[in-house]
């Protein structure tokens, strides 16, 4: 099996052999389809288009079986990584005026009232809802691609099911993390109240603190947050929009950021405004990052990793931002309803994925915003009770995902067991085709709320 499917499902490699045909005639990278609803961006022997709209060639039409092998006209790992690492976006460089707008916006941001900021942002985000790809409000292309590959493996297999290590501990249906980026001194002062809100619903979250320029982070602040059972991570360096300007200055900043991480005792990071260059993340000494949006239509930097699952970028685990930020909800979309969040959560749960939230203590500065946040907490609490949702701190998700990546499935007699550190929390899942749909169930159990996954 290709690495991407084995790593995604943690299934044995022996079930089927995927092969790419000889590269003769390969073009691209470009866009093509893999079945009706999976868009790929990769090199391929099917026609590659430079634009994701319009009629695209379908790689599934040119997929064939030869004995135990499945011959694909593209490489699944390349197609997966081009989406996760946002390599599809390099084709459409940002026009110059946008980078000028960015400079202006970030230069002025701390001085501008929200009403002016949102006018600037709206002008700049114009047309966001017409963008076909990534799919808004949640893009699951990578997840659907892996499911399609697993299904192909099943169709060509003599086995009725393919075992894999279930995505979450103790058979939880999906996962949610709550995170708070602290933007200003006022935000820092509001953290205590936010922790009280979260504690009311037993939801422990993480706080990302800016180490330079905005406010002073004392060891007492870090201890206070941690002693209450919350997590402390590093948020950018100075939060001035310049972290990723060029590699030389980035490398110097990354060194400072790594030093602050040691000082704070942090293992996680998020950049300011989700600016990023995933190819440079190797300079960080963090264990995990939370700077990559799933579908970035409403963020200043376009793109998105098109998955609702954590993934590795070298030795760093990426926990993607899979829902809309509070600021965007309140000030760009101008709503205080949690309907959009509910829609996103539903789409993520349908893929058994990770729902991750960014809510700023700075923006919970009025009654309506607080009410909205409390409704979200209540909704998550209900899902924990009734839909078997795992609500965890990001660091706990990081620990689990790393352990799962090292576990092995072993056949003993007629059934499978999981071995390796942490395996006592792991469950064996079985993928099969039921009534024409890819279906997951946990060995000896049905998964509460697992939906068909094809």
**How is residue 174 annotated by DSSP?**
E
Q: How far apart are CA 216 and CA 214, in angstroms?
A: 7
What's the closest the beta carbon of residue 182 comes to Zn ion, in angstroms?
A: 8
* Dihedral sign, Cα of residue 100, residue 106, residue 109, residue 114: positive
Q: Which is nearer to Zn ion, 2 or 211 (CB)?
A: 211
Report the residue closest to Zn ion, judged by CB: 181
What's the closest the beta carbon of residue 272 comes to Zn ion, in angstroms?
A: 5
User: How buried is 420 (Cβ within 10 angstroms: 0-12 exposed, 13-18 middle, 19+ buried)?
Assistant: middle
Q: Which is nearer to Zn ion, 143 or 299 (CB)?
A: 299
| Contact criterion met (CB below 8 Å) for 354 and 310 | yes
What's the closest the beta carbon of residue 233 comes to Zn ion, in angstroms?
A: 12
Q: Which is nearer to Zn ion, 68 or 108 (CB)?
A: 108
What's the closest the beta carbon of residue 274 comes to Zn ion, in angstroms?
A: 8
| Phi, psi of 20, deg, nearest 5 | -100, 140
Q: Which is nearer to Zn ion, 76 or 272 (CB)?
A: 272
Q: Which is nearer to Zn ion, 30 or 241 (CB)?
A: 241
Q: How far apart are CA 217 and CA 88, in angstroms?
A: 38
Instruction: Print the binding letters for residues 25-54 with Zn ion: x by CB under 5 A, - otherwise.
Output: ------------------------------
With residue 82 as reference, give the H or E element that holds it: helix 76-84
Q: How far apart are CA 239 and CA 208, in angstroms?
A: 12
Site for Zn ion in 163-182 (CB under 5 A): 181
Site for Zn ion in 119-158 (CB under 5 A): none
Site for Zn ion in 179-198 (CB under 5 A): 181
Q: Is 362 among the residues that bind Zn ion (CB under 5 A)? A: no
**How is residue 22 annotated by DSSP?**
P
| Contact criterion met (CB below 8 Å) for 372 and 363 | no
Q: Which is nearer to Zn ion, 106 or 312 (CB)?
A: 106
What's the closest the beta carbon of residue 361 comes to Zn ion, in angstroms?
A: 11
Instruction: Print the binding letters for residues 260-289 with Zn ion: x by CB under 5 A, - otherwise.
Output: ------------x-----------------
What's the closest the beta carbon of residue 210 comes to Zn ion, in angstroms?
A: 7
Q: How much is the CA Rg of the chain, to the nearest whole Å?
A: 22
Q: Which is nearer to Zn ion, 24 or 111 (CB)?
A: 111
What's the closest the beta carbon of residue 208 comes to Zn ion, in angstroms?
A: 7
Q: How far apart are CA 119 and CA 350, in angstroms?
A: 35
Q: How far apart are CA 299 and CA 142, in angstroms?
A: 20
Instruction: Tell me which residues touch Zn ion (CB under 5 A).
Output: 181, 272
């Amino acid at each position: 099996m290709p690495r991407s499917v084995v790593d995604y499902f943690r299934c044995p490699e022996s079930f089927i052999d995927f092969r790419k045909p000889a590269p003769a005639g390969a073009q691209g990278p470009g866009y093509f389809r893999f079945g009706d609803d999976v868009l790929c961006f990769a090199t391929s022997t099917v026609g590659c288009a430079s634009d994701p709209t319009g009629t695209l060639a379908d790689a599934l039409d040119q997929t064939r079986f030869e004995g135990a092998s499945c011959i694909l006209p593209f490489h699944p790992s390349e197609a997966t990584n081009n989406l996760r690492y946002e390599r599809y976006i390099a084709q459409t460089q940002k026009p110059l005026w946008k980078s000028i707008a960015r400079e202006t916006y970030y230069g002025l941001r701390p001085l501008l009232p929200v009403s002016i900021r949102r006018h600037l942002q709206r002008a700049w985000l114009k047309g966001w809802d017409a963008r076909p790809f990534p799919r808004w409000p949640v893009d699951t292309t990578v997840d659907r691609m892996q499911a399609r590959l697993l299904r192909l493996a099943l169709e060509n297999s003599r086995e009725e099911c393919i075992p894999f290590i279930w995505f979450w501990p103790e058979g939880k249906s999906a996962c949610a993390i709550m995170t708070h980026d602290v933007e200003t001194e006022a935000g820092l002062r509001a953290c205590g109240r936010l922790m009280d809100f979260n504690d009311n619903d037993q939801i422990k979250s993480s706080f990302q603190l800016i180490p330079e320029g905005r406010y002073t982070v004392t060891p007492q602040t870090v201890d206070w947050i941690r002693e209450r059972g919350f997590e402390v991570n590093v948020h950018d360096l100075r939060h001035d929009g310049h972290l990723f300007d060029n590699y030389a200055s980035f490398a110097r900043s990354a060194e400072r950021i790594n030093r602050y991480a040691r000082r704070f005792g942090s293992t996680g990071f998020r950049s300011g405004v989700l600016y990023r260059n995933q190819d440079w993340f190797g300079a960080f000494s963090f264990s995990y990052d939370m700077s990559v949006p799933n579908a970035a239509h409403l963020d200043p930097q376009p793109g998105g990793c098109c998955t609702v699952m954590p993934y590795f970028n070298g030795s760093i685990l990426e926990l993607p931002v899979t829902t809309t930020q509070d600021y965007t909800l309140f000030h760009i979309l101008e709503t205080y309803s949690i309907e959009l969040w509910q829609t996103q959560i539903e789409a993520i749960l349908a893929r058994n994925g990770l729902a991750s939230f960014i809510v700023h203590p700075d923006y919970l500065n009025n009654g309506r915003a607080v009410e909205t946040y409390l409704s979200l907490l209540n909704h998550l609490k209900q899902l924990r009770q009734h839909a078997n949702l795992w609500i965890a701190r990001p660091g706990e998700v990081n620990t689990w995902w790393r352990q799962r990546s090292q576990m092995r499935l072993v056949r003993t007699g007629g059934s499978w067991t999981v071995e390796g550190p942490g395996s006592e929390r792991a469950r064996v899942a079985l993928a099969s085709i039921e009534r024409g749909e890819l279906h997951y169930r946990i060995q000896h159990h049905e998964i509460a709320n697992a939906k068909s996954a094809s």
